[in-house]
Amino acid sequence: MNFSKSILRQKPGQLLEFLPDPDPQLIAETLTAFANSEGGALVLGVAPDGHLGTIFVEEDASDALQSALRLCKPPVHTDWYAEEVAGGVVVILRVERSGQLHSLADGRILVRRGTQNVPSDSVMIEQMLAN
């Protein structure tokens, strides 16, 4: 797909994050932050500077995503596709803004602020619940 080529030229921001390795904890943190904010896209297998990260196969990405979703309460709905590049796989996960408040298994509620996933304060949580 040409979508991945255009997205790989972009920089991380409010709606876009790159993770070079399929780390379930970092994936879960980013998915919940996107779901609790404006949504966004998470690219696995690429570093923020655009260089390829750990080369993995689609099964590795699927396993990491399933592990990450188990850390999200409730699970975050994602649409994703994988694309082979340079002998490995780049996975793009799309997350829409959720009508539910999502937390991590450890109880943290994260939101996306610029390029960071940050803890939400009680005022933000009240605003999210009111919307």
Q: What is the pLDDT of residues 36-64, one digit of tens each?
A: 999 999 999 888 888 888 767 778 888 99
Which positions of the chain have pLDDT values less than 50?
Answer: 1
Structural domains counted in the chain: 1
Phi, psi of 15 (to 5 degrees): -110, 5
Res 129: pLDDT: 61
- CATH assignment at residue 48: 3.30.950.30
Enumerate the H helices of 38-131 as residue ranges. Answer: 58-70, 122-130
Q: At what angle do helices 24-35 and 58-70 cross, to 10 degrees?
A: 60
Among candidate residues 10, 33, 24, 17, the one with its CA nearest the CA of residue 101: 33
This prediction's pTM: 0.87
Of 3, 72, 7, 79, the closest CA to residue 46 belongs to 7
Task: Calculate the CA 59 to chain-centre distance.
Answer: 17
Amino acid at 125: I
Assess contact for 12 and 27: CB atoms under 8 A: no
- The DSSP bridge pattern shows strands 116-119 and 110-113 to be antiparallel
What pLDDT, on a 0 to 100 scale, did the predictor assign at position 1?
Answer: 46
Contact yes or no for 53/87 (Cβ under 8 A): no
**pLDDT the model gives residue 77:** 95
Q: Tell me the residue range of the domain where 72 lies.
A: 2-130
